Amino acid sequence: MKKLTPVLVVDAIEPCLPFWVDRLGFTRTIEVPEDDRLGFVALEKDGVEVMVQTRSSAVASAPGMEEFPFGGPTHLYIEVSDFDAVDRALEGAEVIVPRRTTSYGATEIVVREPCGHFIGFASMASAAE
């Protein structure tokens, strides 16, 4: 295996983009239109990739996807090297789990991004030293 890339399934991509691009500095590497909006976008920063796709685009792109159980929100856990910079970038975001230090030594925060997915950010104690 070489890579794992999560695909966040959403109703509309545009409300999600300011969180990923403006707040966190991700770059759009692939965009696929769907009528007058985006149907799919790949986002990348520092070797981390996240894809966002509309439900309607997923169904239209592959036979059988209409039967796929697009459930509730996804939870991503992203390890970062500069936790304080990410914490500042998240100012004003909906915080689900406030900044904390875990029993295993990680500094973490969990927010809900505008499309409903939970995004946790962490810095491990050894990386923060």
Tell me, yes or no, whether 59 and 8 share the same domain: yes
Total domain count, the chain: 2
Indicate the pTM of the whole model.
0.88
Tell me, yes or no, whether 40 and 51 share the same domain: yes
Residue where a domain terminates, one of 70, 94, 118: 70
Tell me, yes or no, whether 59 and 5 share the same domain: yes
**DSSP label at residue 88:** H
Question: Could you tell me the residue range of the domain that residue 32 belongs to?
Answer: 1-70
Summary mean pLDDT of the chain: 92
Tell me, yes or no, whether 105 and 90 share the same domain: yes
Separation in Å, CA 70 to CA 8, 50, 53, 99:
10, 17, 11, 30
CATH label of the domain that carries residue 88: 3.30.720.110
72 touches 55 (CB < 8 A): no
What does the pLDDT average to over 54-62?
87
Consecutive H or E run containing 45: strand 37-45
What does the pLDDT average to over 91-117?
96
The per-residue pLDDT for 82 is 96
Query: Which of 35, 36, 42 is CA-nearest to residue 21?
Result: 42
The per-residue pLDDT for 128 is 42
Tell me, yes or no, whether 53 and 87 share the same domain: no
Tell me, yes or no, whether 35 and 46 share the same domain: yes
